């Protein structure tokens, strides 16, 4: 099958891609664009390691075909820090040691950012439910929840 031409916006950059119809958005990001910040865990939408946003909606990039991203606006972990300046969530994940091996971290950061955009002042329970689709096998989650709470407080200005 011939590759298909698609155009998307990724982290505010206009991107033109030739992709195979069987490739997922995750495959396109990692294999065609060399954007390996987005991780593959399960490949079945269970672990959330491949989380990105598409037109502002949090999705698993392993469950989206690359072709479906045509004309959409994608945001990945590579767009989270502004140059050398980390996003508050990234700083708080470091401050709270909310990671160990780091494979789940890009997905958790993207998912947490999407949460705080919808709900700037989530309860602990709301954070835990929102992040239920992101598996971490190292931390036991507690430090992640603390980091998100702390980042949310900072972003609200307290």
Partner 1 sequence: MRYEAPETLDAAVGLLAGESGTVKVLAGGTDVLVQIHADMIEPDVIVDIKKIAEMREVAEVDGAWRLGAAVTGKELMDNPAFNAAWPGVMDGVRLIGSVQVRGRATVGGNLCNASPAADSVPPMITSRAVATVIGPNGTREVPVKDIAVGPGKTSLEKGEFVVSFQFPKRPARSGDAYLRFTPRTEMDIAVVGCAVNLTLDDAGICTDAIVSLGAVAARALVVEDAAKALIGTPVDEAAMEALAAAASAAATPIDDKRGTIAFRTEVAGVLAQRAAAIALERAKS
- Minimum distance of partner 1 from residue 64's CB (angstroms): 7
Cβ contact 30:76 at 8 Å: no
Question: Shortest Cβ distance from residue 110 to partner 1 (Å)?
Answer: 10
Angstrom distance (rounded) from CA 28 to CA 130? 26
Which C-beta is closer to partner 1: that of 15 or that of 54?
A: 54
- Whether residue 63 contacts residue 45, with contact meaning beta carbons closer than 8 Å, is answered with yes
Q: How far is the CB of 46 from partner 1 (least distance, A)?
A: 7
Q: Which residues of the shown chain bind partner 1 in the complex (CB under 8 A)?
A: 1, 4, 21-22, 24, 43-46, 48, 51, 54, 57-60, 62-65, 67-68, 111, 114-115, 129-130, 132-134
DSSP secondary structure code for residue 72 in this structure: -
Q: What is the DSSP string of 20-71?
A: -TT-BHHHIIIIIS--TTSPPSSSSSSS-TTEEEETTEEEEGGGSBGGGGTT
Q: For partner 1, which is the closer residue by CB, 95 or 142?
A: 142
CA distance linking residue 93 with residue 105, whole number of Å = 9
Cβ proximity to partner 1: between 19 and 85 the closer is 19
C-beta of 84: minimal distance to partner 1 in Å? Answer: 29
Nearer to partner 1, 57 or 83 (CB): 57
């Amino acid at each position: 099958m011939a590759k298909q031409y698609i155009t998307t916006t990724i982290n505010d950059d206009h991107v033109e891609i030739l992709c195979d119809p069987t490739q997922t958005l995750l495959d396109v990001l990692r294999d065609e664009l060399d954007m390996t910040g987005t991780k593959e865990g399960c490949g079945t939408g269970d672990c959330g390691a491949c989380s990105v946003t598409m037109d502002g909606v949090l999705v698993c990039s392993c469950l989206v075909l690359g072709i479906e991203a045509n004309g959409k606006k994608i945001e990945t972990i590579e767009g989270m820090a502004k140059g050398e300046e980390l996003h508050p969530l990234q700083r708080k994940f470091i401050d709270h040691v909310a990671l160990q091996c780091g494979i789940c971290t890009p997905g958790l950061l993207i998912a947490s950012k999407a949460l705080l955009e919808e709900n700037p002042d989530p309860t602990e329970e709301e954070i835990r439910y929102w992040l239920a689709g992101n598996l971490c096998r190292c931390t036991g989650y507690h430090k992640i929840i603390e980091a998100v709470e702390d980042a949310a407080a900072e972003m609200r200005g307290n």
